Structures are given as structure tokens and as C-alpha cells.
Amino acid sequence: MITLGFYLYYWLYSRTKVINSLHEKPISMILLGSLLTVFVVSSTSSFWGESPPAIIAGLIITLVYLVLYIVTVIKFKNRLQDLLTRAHGQQFKVGGFLSFMFSSIYFQYKINDFNEKS
């Protein structure tokens, strides 16, 4: 199945809805919408041409995407770790580097790991 990179956003959106229903500090759905929008714009930037303004605009949009992605992943990681720790009764660690590198795959692994230990 070809997802064109959208599976990450679907996964984050669907799990964020669940986390928001369980956590007192919800993650903004506007943040997720902004991340998806910037992803789409960034993905199309290669079609803008090779003029210096187009290259600079593409780089700026890519940097904005990277910042939004990092903020989203950190917020999700913190909420997930907090919920899993509360449910487990002791500290349940969700690694920062692995969260950044593998986001949805790693988060799903941690959720599955938690379910196996419960």
C-alpha cells in the first residue's frame, strides 16, 4: 500500500484524539493540522523550480516543518509517557531520540510493550 508519507499524520491524529480524551493537557489539533499543511507544501516545493527565491522558500518551509514535527513529537511523547506511567504505577520511559527518529512506529511499540506488561 502506498501512503505517500501520510500514514504518520493519520497515526498521530488518531492517537492524539485518544490521548486528548485521557489527558488534562490536550495536544492542539491545530498543531497537527499545521504540521500536515506544511508537510504538503514542503512536499510540493521541489516543483517550484530552481530559482534562488524558490530554493530559499523551500528551505524555510522545510525548517518550519522540522520545528513543527519536533514540537509535535515531544508533546505526544510527554503525554504518552505520562499516561503510561500513571497506568503502570511506576516510571514508564519513552525515549526521546527514538521518538524523534521513528515516531509512530516507536510509539506503537511502546504502547504494545505497555499492554504486554499490564
Q: Is residue 1 part of a domain?
A: no
Average of per-residue pLDDT across 55-68: 93
Q: Is residue 92 part of a domain?
A: yes
Q: Is residue 50 part of a domain?
A: yes
Q: Is residue 2 part of a domain?
A: no
Q: Is residue 118 part of a domain?
A: no
Q: Is residue 84 part of a domain?
A: yes
Predicted confidence (pLDDT) per residue in 102-111, tens digit: 888 999 999 9
Q: Is residue 60 part of a domain?
A: yes
With a cut of 70, say whether residue 1 has pLDDT above it.
no
Domain containing 104: what range? 7-19+28-113
Q: Is residue 39 part of a domain?
A: yes
Maximum average pLDDT range among 30-34, 39-43, 45-49, 90-94? 30-34
pTM, to two decimals:
0.86
Structural domain tally of the chain?
Answer: 1
pLDDT of residue 88: 83
pLDDT of residue 117: 82
5 CB-contact burial (10 Å; exposed 0-12 / middle 13-18 / buried 19+): exposed
With a cut of 80, say whether residue 73 has pLDDT above it.
yes
